[in-house]
């Protein structure tokens, strides 16, 4: 029953974010106040991902306890399964972006995601995270000409 409540909570939060993004799009997009990939579409994207994770978590009990137990053993964080942990990580990432800025938040996000996947050593995880965050920064800042949040450190 706890899994279904987690799933329902994520679907509710995702729906709220989708609704907030949609209402922002309806009220502000016509005034051309945003870039092409502005905050309204970001909210809708993250909300949609949370809804998908919530549905996966909510329906996970259908596939059987044996398969869930095997998946639980393979995952790095034994008290959370992969979809629940990733949904929690995405939520934390969305919350810390305005505070820490895009670059630092994205670096921490990749480090946590790669660590949760558990397939690399510490140095390799750090190097891969720096490269991934740097690549995304170049894509959004340079190629898409998006203004990314700087955060409290101005990075």
pTM given for the model: 0.54
**Taking 80 as the threshold, does the pLDDT of residue 17 lie above it?**
no
User: pLDDT tens across 85-136, in order?
Assistant: 888 888 899 889 888 999 999 999 999 888 887 767 788 888 989 999 999 8
Burial label, 150 (beta-carbon count in 10 A; 0-12, 13-18, 19+): middle
User: pLDDT tens across 37-92, in order?
Assistant: 566 677 778 888 888 878 877 777 665 555 555 555 555 555 567 777 888 888 89
| Whole-angstrom distance, CA of residue 122 vs CA of residue 125 | 5
């Amino acid at each position: 029953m706890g899994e279904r409540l987690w799933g329902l909570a994520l679907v509710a939060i995702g729906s709220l974010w989708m609704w907030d993004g949609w209402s922002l799009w309806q009220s502000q997009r016509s005034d051309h106040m945003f870039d092409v990939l502005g905050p309204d579409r970001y909210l809708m994207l993250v909300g949609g991902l949370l809804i998908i994770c919530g549905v996966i978590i909510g329906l996970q009990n259908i596939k059987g306890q044996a398969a869930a137990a095997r998946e639980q053993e393979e995952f790095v964080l034994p008290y959370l399964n992969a979809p629940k942990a990733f949904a929690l990580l995405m939520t934390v990432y969305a919350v810390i972006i305005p505070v820490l800025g895009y670059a630092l938040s994205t670096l921490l996000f990749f480090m946590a995601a790669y660590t949760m996947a558990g397939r690399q050593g510490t140095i390799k995880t750090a190097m891969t995270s720096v490269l991934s965050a740097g690549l995304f920064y170049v894509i959004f800042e340079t190629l898409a000409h998006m203004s990314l949040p700087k955060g409290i450190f101005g990075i």
